[in-house]
């Protein structure tokens, strides 16, 4: 595409870098923003700038947060003896949407995948192990995607802490193998958490 404005060309080029956004969609979005009141567009720019520069990881669970500790970890009404281990912040959102989990979380930031260059030290695994060793944790639920990488990650963590006086469980396999947690429907995900099974029963190694 060729535009009469270099500014429009730059805007379209930047917007098209977003996942799932092609040049035509980027152009449509850019022209839409141009039609809006200037104050509205500037508010969007301000929101994105603040989001990018001020957002941080929770110091406890590594969920996204506006403050040092996220609202879930700082909520005294949550069950802090029950930790749900997930791969991504989007998994936290998916589980929270079910309304069936009242514990806290630990976000690993991915799963172990040597083929993709992701090793245990690249993830927030060590902080999880330290939580289990230093806090009064009753149960850990592995809510990782049912993939080879997810299973490998769960097993790796379990090996490090299996001798601790903690119950380890995993979500029931109502979620089909290879399916991402964040895309599971709320009912299936809720039942998978409610019907969780001892982690040892899920081991294939």
Q: What is the CATH number of the domain that holds 125?
A: 3.40.1360.10
At 3 the pLDDT is: 72
Q: Are residues 81 and 136 in the same domain?
A: yes
Residue 29 phi/psi, 5° resolution?
-65, -40
At 171 the pLDDT is: 82
Q: Are residues 164 and 88 in the same domain?
A: yes
Query: Is 61 inside any structural domain?
Result: no
Tally of domains within the chain: 2
Q: Are 106 and 95 in contact (CB under 8 A)?
A: no
Q: Are residues 49 and 89 in the same domain?
A: no
Question: Which of 170, 173, 147 is closest to 157 using CA atoms?
Answer: 170
pTM (whole model) above 0.85: no
pLDDT tens digit at each of 205 positions of the chain: 667 899 999 999 999 999 999 999 999 999 999 999 999 999 999 999 999 999 999 999 999 999 999 999 999 999 999 999 999 999 999 999 988 899 999 999 999 999 999 999 999 999 999 999 999 999 999 999 888 899 899 999 999 999 999 999 988 665 544 455 565 656 566 666 766 767 766 665 5
Query: Is 166 inside any structural domain?
Result: yes
Q: Using CA atoms, how far apart are residues 12 and 45, in angstroms rounded to an integer?
A: 15
Q: Are residues 155 and 113 in the same domain?
A: yes
Q: Are residues 103 and 20 in the same domain?
A: no
SS3 198: strand
Q: Are residues 161 and 110 in the same domain?
A: yes
Query: Is 35 inside any structural domain?
Result: yes
Q: Using CA atoms, how far apart are residues 179 and 7, in angstroms rounded to an integer?
A: 41
Which range marks the domain in which residue 130 is found? 74-202
Q: Are residues 24 and 93 in the same domain?
A: no
């Amino acid at each position: 595409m060729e535009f009469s404005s270099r500014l429009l060309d730059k805007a379209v080029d930047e917007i098209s870098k977003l996942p799932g956004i092609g040049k035509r969609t980027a152009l449509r979005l850019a022209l839409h923003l141009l039609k809006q009141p200037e104050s509205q567009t500037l508010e969007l720019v301000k929101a994105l700038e603040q989001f990018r520069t001020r957002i941080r990881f929770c110091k406890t669970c590594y969920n996204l947060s506006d403050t040092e500790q996220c609202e879930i970890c700082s909520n005294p009404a949550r069950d802090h003896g029950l930790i749900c281990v997930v791969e991504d912040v989007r998994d936290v959102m998916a589980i929270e949407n079910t309304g069936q989990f009242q514990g806290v979380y630990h976000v690993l930031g991915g799963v172990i995948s040597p083929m993709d260059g992701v090793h245990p030290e690249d993830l927030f695994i060590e902080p999880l192990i330290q939580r289990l060793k230093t806090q009064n944790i009753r149960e850990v639920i592995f809510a990782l995607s049912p993939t080879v990488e997810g299973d490998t990650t769960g097993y790796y963590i379990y090996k490090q802490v299996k001798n601790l006086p903690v119950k380890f469980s995993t979500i029931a396999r109502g979620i089909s193998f290879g399916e991402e947690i964040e895309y599971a429907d709320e009912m299936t995900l809720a039942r998978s958490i409610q019907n969780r099974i001892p982690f040892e029963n899920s081991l294939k190694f």
